Structure 1
């Protein structure tokens, strides 16, 4: 894919998606989808190198959205640490607005990390990868996660309890997660700032227990 090809692709994209706002930050919002729909191979015999370009564009767009979008920096998350282990599976965890989940066809995470440090990063081999992009204390963080962890967070994004998510994955994806494994993963997600304050099944915020008088 030559520089001339990229220039032509950019011109076609702007013709189909002209600027709609005063800021250019939103100009590339539809670029990954445009690349997928305007493939030079026509989709008949997919070219792996172009699949990588599409994945890289998706990764870059998600990073931009996390960096520029709303975060959890001013949210009071203390109630998350106070949730008792016995209650963990039966409350509703809301994903942070600054969190993105990506299922990629290439190891874009490693490529991006190498490209940030050197101009000699090599295009990775084909291989599915699951990545979570988040922001904490105004710092964008990238992390590769296991397929079941990805599917579990995807299920939680539907405003269901972890217990319901476990049952859904067991019934529809043949992924069997123990309650203990789920509990540890939820605690890890809390430490990384993946959630907003939790809610109970009635939609009420889960509050910290009252302090005992000394």
Structure 2
């Protein structure tokens, strides 16, 4: 006799694989095997997961069209069933799946657009946190600025692509109007952050990606500046700091690795 665990495993496997028969012991109100009822339930589960992917990756869906997206998503659902009951979390591996999905190979930028949409979703559901404001930073003594380290907002994500993914995403979301994009013109680094109610996506300037990444790793302001300049001599420290504070990217700062905060964000 099969154990309860074996029955549950068989039920879950059959839900996503139509080649498998109806699980043993599954019967209808009449006590007879209920093949039709299970087929309807199986279809509803798959359709629901495809719908969750479509909600989480709207730009990807618009780029490839609903018919292609549904077919691609169905294959993903079978290969990567959910591990959490929260559908908003479903599809973390979708971008990687798209990267290896042969029918989408001609859309070489599609996986990176999916990565951007995943970052948007993660930022949207990230914890709330205060924002470090211009006013708070303005009171800092000038001789302490070089050694400052910053704590970044928990919603902040960095996405780097060799394609203009922010431009492509903006054309294919909401009221965006798709148009020609020069895929050879260079990539875009994107800052994703949700300091308040709305998620913001910003194209990052020269050296900006390396600068924020260095700050994330705990480098001081001076060290992060050197890292960015070593990557791109066009890096503008004051311009980047200004834009990052305006975006709500920081929540506090301190001198080096000292445990005591120099200032904490208060903006909302």
What TM-score results when the alignment is normalised by the length of structure 2? 0.64
After superposition, the Cα gap between the structure-2 partners of 1:76 and 1:96, relative to the gap in structure 1 and judged at 3 Å, is: closer
**Corresponding position: 1:25 with 2:88:** yes
> Is the radius of gyration larger for structure 1 or structure 2?
2
Offset, 1:87? 2.3
Corresponding residue SS for 2:162:
strand
Corresponding residue SS for 1:34:
helix
Distance 1:197 1:153 in 2: 14
Selected match of 2:210 from 133, 148, 151 = 151
Distance 1:77 1:2 in 2: 41
Cα-Cα RMSD:
2.7
Contact 1:152 1:165 in 2 (8 A): yes
Question: In the alignment, what sits opposite 1:39?
Answer: 101
Deviations 1:51-95 (A, max 9, x none): 2211211111111111121132xx263544432343222111122
Question: In the alignment, what sits opposite 1:212?
Answer: none
For structure 2, which runs of at least 5 residues remain unmatched after alignment? 1-63
**Corresponding position: 1:163 with 2:222:** yes
Structure with larger RCO (C-alpha < 8 A, sep 6+): 1
Contact 1:133 1:140 in 2 (8 A): yes
Distance 2:176 2:131 in 1: 41
Deviations 1:88-131 (A, max 9, x none): 22111122111111112322222332333547413622131111
**Corresponding position: 1:137 with 2:192:** no
What TM-score results when the alignment is normalised by the length of structure 1? 0.78
**Corresponding position: 1:86 with 2:163:** no
Question: In the alignment, what sits opposite 1:204?
Answer: 260
Contact 1:51 1:105 in 2 (8 A): no
Question: In the alignment, what sits opposite 1:211?
Answer: none
Question: In the alignment, what sits opposite 1:13?
Answer: 76
For structure 1, which runs of at least 5 residues remain unmatched after alignment? 209-214
Contact 1:89 1:161 in 2 (8 A): yes
Contact 2:126 2:155 in 1 (8 A): yes
Contact 1:80 1:190 in 2 (8 A): no
Contact 1:106 1:124 in 2 (8 A): no
Offset, 1:177? 6.5
Question: In the alignment, what sits opposite 2:29?
Answer: none
Residue-pair matches, total? 196
Selected match of 1:60 from 114, 117, 131 = 117
Selected match of 1:183 from 216, 238, 248 = 238
Corresponding residue SS for 2:192:
strand
Distance 1:167 1:116 in 2: 36
After superposition, the Cα gap between the structure-2 partners of 1:33 and 1:83, relative to the gap in structure 1 and judged at 3 Å, is: farther
After superposition, the Cα gap between the structure-2 partners of 1:119 and 1:134, relative to the gap in structure 1 and judged at 3 Å, is: closer
Corresponding residue SS for 2:261:
coil
